[in-house]
Amino acid sequence: MVKKKDHELQGTLEFPERLSISNYCIWKAGKPIYRLHHEALSAVQFNPGYGSGRFNPIKATGTLYGAGDFGTAAMETLFHDVGSPSEGLPFDYEGLNQKVYSVIEPVTDLVLVELSARTLRRWGFTKSQVIDSTADKYPFTQRLAAKIHNQHFEAQGLQWSSKQDDGIAVMLFEDRVNKNSLSVIIESKSVSESESAMEDIETIIDDLAMVPINIGGGDPDD
């Protein structure tokens, strides 16, 4: 018999038959979503369903990851794999190559499933197993997203408290969100050429006590 702890190590935690929730949460129309993404994608272009993100629902649909502010979006992407303690670790500015940021706003309210500690406990999981888990547990979190997607037809995505920061992160399901319902405020602006973006990144580097390397020349221009 496989113990629950062994299930956790193998990324095969058991799911309840029904992932019930008390209420959906609403991302209000006009509330901005900040994205950091590759320059090949447009502001409202979803990642393919076969991506390797924490909540990519196993090829069921494309996904769009974002956050409620630029700092959280940066922590969820550029600083996602930074270890702890972070003091003295390098931050390579070459990682900003081909990285852009966009700001979009939903035209109508978005209906999301909030992955709060209470909801996860309701399902028999902990925040550490879902939100704070490492990449080797992504097969489990991806199955969880797929099950939510399949059971909650009203849900247009997920919302959770960022593992990396104190802000809110979101992920939208492509087949539940019409691109025309997302208004573009900032379209794919180069991170390295934005003064405001670079100031935020430098603040994060300083807060984490990291050591910047491969700093390019030239003055950022916002």
Structural domain boundaries of the chain?
27-213
CA distance linking residue 206 with residue 208, whole number of Å: 5
CA atoms within 13 A on the CB side of 215: 11
pLDDT value of position 61: 84
List per-residue pLDDT tens for the chain, 222 residues long: 334 443 443 345 788 889 999 899 999 999 999 999 999 999 999 987 655 666 666 666 889 999 999 999 999 999 988 988 999 999 999 999 999 999 999 999 999 999 999 999 999 999 989 988 777 787 888 889 999 999 999 999 999 999 888 899 999 999 999 889 999 999 999 999 999 999 999 999 999 999 999 976 444 444
Q: Is 177 helix (H, G, I), strand (E, B) or coil?
A: coil
pLDDT value of position 217: 46
Please identify which residue in the block is written with the tokens 């609403």. 26
Q: Where are the beta strands (DSSP E) in 49-181?
A: 63-67, 90-92, 99-106, 110-114, 157-161, 168-173
pLDDT of residue 166: 87
Could you give the CA distance from residue 130 to residue 118 in angstroms, rounded to a whole number? 12
Strand locations in 95-167 (E): 99-106, 110-114, 157-161
Burial of 14 (0-12, 13-18, 19+ CB in 10 A): exposed
